[in-house]
Amino acid sequence: MSRSVRVRFAPSPTGLLHIGSAHTGLFNWLFARKEKGRFLLRIEDTDTARSRQEWVDAIYEVLEWMGMDWDEDVVYQSRRIERHVDRARHLVETGRAYRCYYLPEELEAKKKEALAEGRSWRNDRRYADITAAEAEALEAEGRKPVIRLKIPEGKTIFRDRILGEIEVGNETIDDFVIVRSNGTPLYHLAVVVDDVDMEVSHVIRGIDHVTNTTKHIHLFQALGAELPEFAHLPSILGEDKKKLSKRHGAASVSEYRDAGYLSDAVVNFLSLLGWQTGDDQEFFTRAELMERFSLDQVHKRDTVFDLRKFEWLNGQHIMALSNEELWTLAKPFLKREGLVGDRPSGSEKTDCHSERQTVDGNTSGQPEGQTDGRPKGKTAGHAYAMEVVALLRERCRTLADFAVQGRFFFTDDFDYNSKAVRKHWAKEPDAVSERIVWLRDEFAVLEVFDVEAVEGVIRDLSERHGLKAAQFIHPCRVALTGEMAGPSLFHLVAVLGKAVCVERLNRALDRLPDAIEQAAVNQG
C-alpha cells in the first residue's frame, strides 16, 4: 500500500473501556507508531440511549494513563449524522442503494415462508426500481422506507493481514439496511463513511468484526473509495477458554489501574496477547514495543488472559522502578487505606536521619501518642518511606500490595493472623512469652539499633538458650507485624525502630492469651 499509515481506534462510550477494546486500541497505536503513521481517535457515540459523557471522559483518561496519545482532533460520530445520511442519498441516486418499503411484518412472513420451504431468503428488491409516483403512494399509506445497499452477484474476496485470504459468496449477504425508516444511519454506513473521510489506511479490529468486513467492502466500493487493508485480531479468552468478560474478574482497564497495576505493565501485557515476538522476551518498555511491534507477527489463534502472568509481569515492572518512583505511585494506595496522609507543613523530602526513635524519643512534631495512625514515635517521612519501599518491592505484585503487606510499617492497628498465632504462638505459649520478654529486654538496651545489631541479639539469644534462631524469629514476626511471612525480620525490625518494636512486643505479651483463644475459635 502506497498511502501513508492512518489507523483509528473507535470505542463506544457505553461503559468503562473494556480490556478487549484497549487491546485493539493498543495494537492500532503500536502499528501507527512503528510505521511513523497517524493514530486517530473516533468516539462512536450514536447510541444515544447508552452513550454518556462520563464514559467519553473515562476513555480519554484511560488512554492518557496508558500513554496512547492520539493525533489530530477527536471525531465524534454523532456529529456526522447528516454526512452519513447524505452519503446514503448519494448511493440511492447512483443506483447503488434503494429505498425499501416492506413492512417489518411482511419481511418476517417472507422469511418464515422461505424457512418452511428449506431455502434462505434475500430481499427480492420489489421496491428497488419503483417510480416516484409509486413511492409517493406507498408513503401516503404510512409506509416509511429504509435504505438498503444493493449487493452484486459473485464473490467477495479480500486478503486479511492476519487471517490471510477470505472468500465469501455474495448470495449469503442480504441487501442490508444502511438507513433506518426514521432517517438515522446504521453502524455499517457510519463506520465506512467515517473511515473514508478520515482517510483510514488500515482497519485493525477484533476478529468478531470479520463478518462485517464483507459488508463494509461493498460500501467502500459503492462509495468509490479505496479499500483499506484489514487486520482482524484474535479473541481474548478467560482461562476457561470462554470470551473474556466480567465473570473472569476485572473487565475494564480502570479496574486494573485502581487495583494497583502499572500502566507500563498493562501496555506490556496486552501487547503479548496475540503478538509473537519471535524470541523469549516478555518484558518490554513502550519504546521497545514501538520499535519491535509488527502486524505480521500477530497470530490467528485465540489468546488467553493469564492473570497470574499479568501479576508476575506487573511485579517485574515494579522492580524496574526506583524506590522514589515506587513511593510516588504507591502512596495513593496507602492514603486510600488511611495509612499515610499529607504532611501538614514542609517538604516530604526532608532529612529524616532521626526517624528511628528511642523508647522515649518523638520527632514527629506532635504530642506523644498522636502520630496520625502511624506507629507511635514514627513519621512517614521520606527516608523512612524509602526504607519501607526497598523492603517491600520484591514481594509486591501490585501497588495495592504495598498497603496490604506494608500496613504494619505505618500503623499499630493490625490484627494477629490466626494461622500465624496457631503455628508460632499457640503450641507453647509460656515459652513464647518468655522469648518475647528476652527479645524486648535485649532490644531496649541496644545503643545502635540496626540490622547487624538486631541479628546479633537473636543469634546470641538462640545460642545462649540452646534454641534455634527460628524459635525467636517467627514469634517475633507475629508480634511485630501480625503475619507469619514478610520481609527479612532483621531488616524490618531495624526499619520500625526500637521504640515501636519494644512497644509491640509489650502489647503482644498482653494480648497473647486472647489471641490464642481467638485463633482457636476461628479454626473451629
Residues identified as active-site: 246
Rg of the chain in Å (alpha carbons): 33
Burial class (CB in 10 A: 0-12, 13-18, 19+), 332: middle
Tell me which residue of 156, 166, 247 sits closest to 207, measured CA to CA: 166
Q: CB of 461 within 8 A of CB of 438?
A: yes
- DSSP state letters, 127-165: TTT--HHHHHHHHHTT---EEEEPPPSSEEEEEETTTEE
The whole-angstrom separation of Cα 522 and Cα 98 is 73
Segment (H or E) for 206? strand 202-206
CA atoms within 13 A on the CB side of 154: 7
Using the structure block, give the residue that is written with the C-alpha cell 517491600.
392
The whole-angstrom separation of Cα 396 and Cα 311 is 9
Helix (H, G, I), strand (E, B) or coil at 11: coil
Using the structure block, give the residue that is written with the C-alpha cell 506507629.
375
The whole-angstrom separation of Cα 18 and Cα 252 is 4
Q: Is 134 left (phi over 0), alpha (psi -120 to 50) or beta?
A: alpha
- DSSP state letters, 43-57: E----TTT--HHHHH
Residue 450: all three cell numbers together = 540496626
